[in-house]
Amino acid sequence: MERNGTQTRRTGPGGLPLAVCVAAAMVAAGCRQDSDGATAAAVSTTGRPQAEIDPEYPVVRIDTNRGAITVRLNAVAAPGTVRNFLNYLNDGFYKNTLIHYAAADTMIVGGGYSADGRLKPTLPPIRNEAHNGLKNTRGAIAMARDAAAGIDSATSQFFINLADAPSLDHRGESPEEYGYCVFGEVIDGLEVADQISRSPTRDLGGDLVRSPDPPVVIRSINYVR
């Protein structure tokens, strides 16, 4: 579970390290739907006119030292999750953070650790929108969370699925079955994510049990449209 500035070991389904909650086969959130049915992400897009950004399907680019990954977010299906992600983006939180977990052709995880391996302080956990109907299929971006900490435990960390992972979808109401909220999809650069997932890794402890070596750094995440 993330704690401000403190690294602890987290486990997900089957006791796996919860950098991601990889399913037992090794084949991350917003809210249960807002009561008012809101679908647009109410965010401040600092330095950019609102008209330039699609409020329902904003597109962002994750620039890493291994290449760029472009993602279209879905604020219609996951309004709270997208709002949370964009709040971190607007604050520059993701600048110079690690892709801190890589499982070959399965997933990559980032958004929580600084380039020197320190866990960054986060905003409070958000509620989980995993019931929204979006699936953890290849190319989907989802929120990492700690199943042991409860359903609503996601903060800043996210993962990109590189294989279909139905075991991470919403299947029930328990913390283990509630699932991991998908809030968008990769529309360009999925091959970059594939390459990162195949990186040599080393165990740095805690969530960093499969940390790419040499490090893969998110230089910034920026709006495209």
Tell me the pLDDT tens digit for each residue of 61-80: 999 999 999 999 999 999 99
Strand partners, 222: 61
Tell me the pLDDT tens digit for each residue of 29-46: 333 333 333 334 444 444
Tell me the pLDDT tens digit for each residue of 78-127: 999 999 999 999 999 999 999 999 999 999 999 999 999 999 999 999 99
**What's the pLDDT score for residue 24?**
30
Q: Between the CA atoms of 42, 32, 22 and 220, what dihedral angle is there, to the nearest 10 degrees?
A: 0
**What's the pLDDT score for residue 42?**
41
| Residue corresponding to tokens 């199943």 | 147
At 193, the pLDDT band (50, 70, 90 cuts) reads very high
pLDDT (mean) for 203-211: 94
Architecture of domain 58-223: Beta Barrel (2.40)
Query: What is the domain partition of the chain in residue ranges?
Result: 58-223
Question: Could you count the other beta carbons within 10 Å of the beta carbon of residue 37?
Answer: 7
Is this prediction's pTM over 0.85? Answer: no
| Torsion-angle region of 58 (φ positive above 0: left; ψ -120 to 50: alpha; else: beta) | beta
Considering Cα of 204, then 210, then 215, then 221, what sign does the dihedral take?
A: negative
Q: Let me know how long the chain is.
A: 225
CB environment 194-206: b (16+ within 10 A), e (fewer)? eebbebebeebeb
Of the listed ranges 23-27, 132-136, 148-152, the one predicted with least confidence:
23-27
**What's the pLDDT score for residue 173?**
95
Alpha-carbon Rg for the chain, nearest whole angstrom, is 16
At 28, the pLDDT band (50, 70, 90 cuts) reads very low
% residues pLDDT > 90 (the chain): 75
pLDDT at 146 exceeding the cut of 60: yes
Contacts of 35 (CB under 8 A, 6+ apart): none
Strand partners, 142: 159, 182
At 52, the pLDDT band (50, 70, 90 cuts) reads confident
CA–centroid distance for 117 within its chain? 17
Distance, CA of 132 to CA of 134 (rounded, Å): 6
Q: What is the mean pLDDT of the chain?
A: 84
DSSP SS3 for 126:
strand
DSSP SS3 for 8:
coil
